[in-house]
């Protein structure tokens, strides 16, 4: 914001300004009405993961589990020493 | 229109099973997922470093078992936490980054780079297990022993240097895909000779004490400035090696089973740069279906 357009307002001036302004009345139970409208909106539920998500999980899961076990037991991976 | 995608506890738990912290990512609790993953992967390295470098060898096995227990606990915590959080998130609104492509990228990055990298680091630089398939190191190592080798050995920043008497693992000079395990007898510049079942290093015999007889074998105690151990010779073995000087950057190695070992007497000295580890402790010993319980946890000298 340009500093030229900035003015400082005192507390008294602010009080006067607020008294002269007419705010709209908040309707009764406004918040409840808003929440009811939100609840009434159509929801898109994805009830179950799709088959390919399960497939990807299982397909990637087997080598992944081996990798994890490989990390945990890395000191136990045995090589031959003749 | 807004989209509610409930988090599925089974999916979250499975994701955390295959990669710790992955289920938390799916649940949107990213910070907790990162913490679980970091704890799971990094707790191993400091502990193994501690084990390999700073603690007595006797503690290697118990502390390595402790690292496994801690790891499994963190893993299980990740799975249970993912399951519980998902169960509470039946009205979950996914964040804009929670798409299959992001999950796939995170999974691949962890599985292809991070976890294999850490595994390889531990095996190459900290601790690795070796199976003993031959009798060439009898009576110290028996066929069927499995031991830990300290891989933080013989490298510029390693605490342990190669010393005479160490049981070392090295790359076999005639086939670089194989590892061999033998005892370091002499270092660069040492004069070595063998006669009458005795090893002489710089003119001094390694033999200490009397020879014992067992099953047509002579059992001889040897002593270096670093170790004391037993070796065995066939009673009738008269093999001798004329005195020679170990070349620069090389080591002379022998099996403790002196009459039945393919060692520096046959393939020559070994480049020191090929010495990759030092045998430290036996953690498994089984041969022809029989467990040798007394050897479990045996510290090697």
Instruction: Compute the nearest-CA separation of A76 from chain B (Å).
Output: 5
Residue B1 has pLDDT above 60, yes or no: no
Strands B145-150 and B167-171: unpaired
Share of chain B above pLDDT 70, in %: 99
Residue B2: predicted pLDDT: 58
Superfamily of domain B127-295: Umud Fragment, subunit A (2.10.109.10)
CA distances from B1 to A8, A30, A39, B4, B165 (A): 43, 21, 11, 10, 76
With an 8 Å Cβ cutoff, is A59 touching chain B? no
Partners of A67 on chain B (C-beta within 8 Å) are 111, 115-116, 119
- Distance in angstroms (rounded) separating the CA atoms of residues B252 and B247: 9
Flag the least confident range among A43-52, B75-84, B175-184, B201-210: A43-52
Partners of A46 on chain B (C-beta within 8 Å) are 3, 5-6
In this complex, do B1 and A41 lie within 8 Å of one another by their Cβ atoms? yes
In this complex, do B111 and A42 lie within 8 Å of one another by their Cβ atoms? no
DSSP assignment letter at B152: S
Contact B193, B243 (CB under 8 A): yes
Beta strand spans in chain B (E): 2-4, 127-131, 145-150, 167-171, 179-186, 191-195, 198-201, 204-205, 212-214, 217-223, 228-234, 241-245, 250-254, 270-271, 275-287, 290-291
ipTM exceeding the 0.95 mark: no
Residues B13-29 pLDDT 10s: 999 999 999 999 999 99
CB nearest A44 (choices: B4, B19, B64)? B4
Residues B157-170 pLDDT 10s: 777 789 999 999 99
- The token pair at B61 is 């096995």
Q: Which residues in chain A land under pLDDT 50?
A: none
Partners of B44 on chain A (C-beta within 8 Å) are 71-72, 74
Instruction: Provide mean pLDDT across the span B253-275.
Output: 95
């Amino acid at each position: 914001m340009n500093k030229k357009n900035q003015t400082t307002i005192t507390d008294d001036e602010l009080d006067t300004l607020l008294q002269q302004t007419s705010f709209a009345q908040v309707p009764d139970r406004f918040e409840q009405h808003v929440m009811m409208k939100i609840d009434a909106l159509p929801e898109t539920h994805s009830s179950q993961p799709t088959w390919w998500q399960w497939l990807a999980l299982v397909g990637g899961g087997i080598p992944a589990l081996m990798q994890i076990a490989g990390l945990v037991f890395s000191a136990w991976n045995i090589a031959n020493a003749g | 229109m807004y989209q509610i995608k409930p988090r599925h506890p089974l999916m979250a738990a499975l994701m955390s099973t295959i990669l710790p912290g992955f289920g938390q990512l799916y649940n949107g609790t990213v910070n907790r997922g990162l913490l679980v993953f970091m704890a799971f992967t990094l707790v191993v390295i400091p502990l193994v470093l501690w084990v390999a470098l700073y603690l007595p060898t006797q503690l290697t096995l118990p502390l390595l078992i402790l690292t496994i227990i801690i790891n499994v606990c963190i893993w299980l915590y990740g799975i249970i936490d993912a399951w519980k959080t998902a169960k509470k998130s039946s009205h979950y609104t996914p964040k804009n980054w929670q798409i299959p492509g992001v999950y796939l990228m995170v999974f691949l990055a962890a599985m292809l780079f991070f976890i294999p990298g850490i595994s390889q680091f531990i095996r190459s630089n900290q601790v690795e297990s070796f199976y003993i398939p031959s009798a060439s190191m009898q009576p110290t190592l028996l066929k069927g022993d499995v031991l830990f080798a300290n891989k933080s050995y013989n490298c510029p920043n390693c605490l342990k240097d190669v010393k005479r008497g160490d049981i070392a693992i090295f790359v076999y000079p005639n086939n670089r895909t194989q590892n061999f395990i033998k005892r370091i007898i002499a270092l660069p510049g040492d004069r070595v000779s063998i006669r009458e079942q005795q090893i002489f290093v710089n003119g001094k015999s390694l033999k200490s004490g009397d020879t014992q007889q067992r099953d047509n074998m002579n059992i001889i105690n040897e002593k270096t400035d670093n170790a004391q151990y037993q070796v065995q010779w066939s009673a009738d073995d008269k093999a001798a090696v004329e005195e020679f000087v170990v070349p620069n950057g090389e080591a002379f190695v022998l099996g403790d089973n002196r009459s039945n070992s393919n060692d520096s007497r046959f393939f020559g000295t070994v480049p020191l740069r090929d010495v990759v580890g030092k045998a430290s402790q036996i953690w498994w010993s089984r041969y022809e279906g029989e467990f040798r319980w007394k050897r479990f946890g045996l510290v090697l000298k």
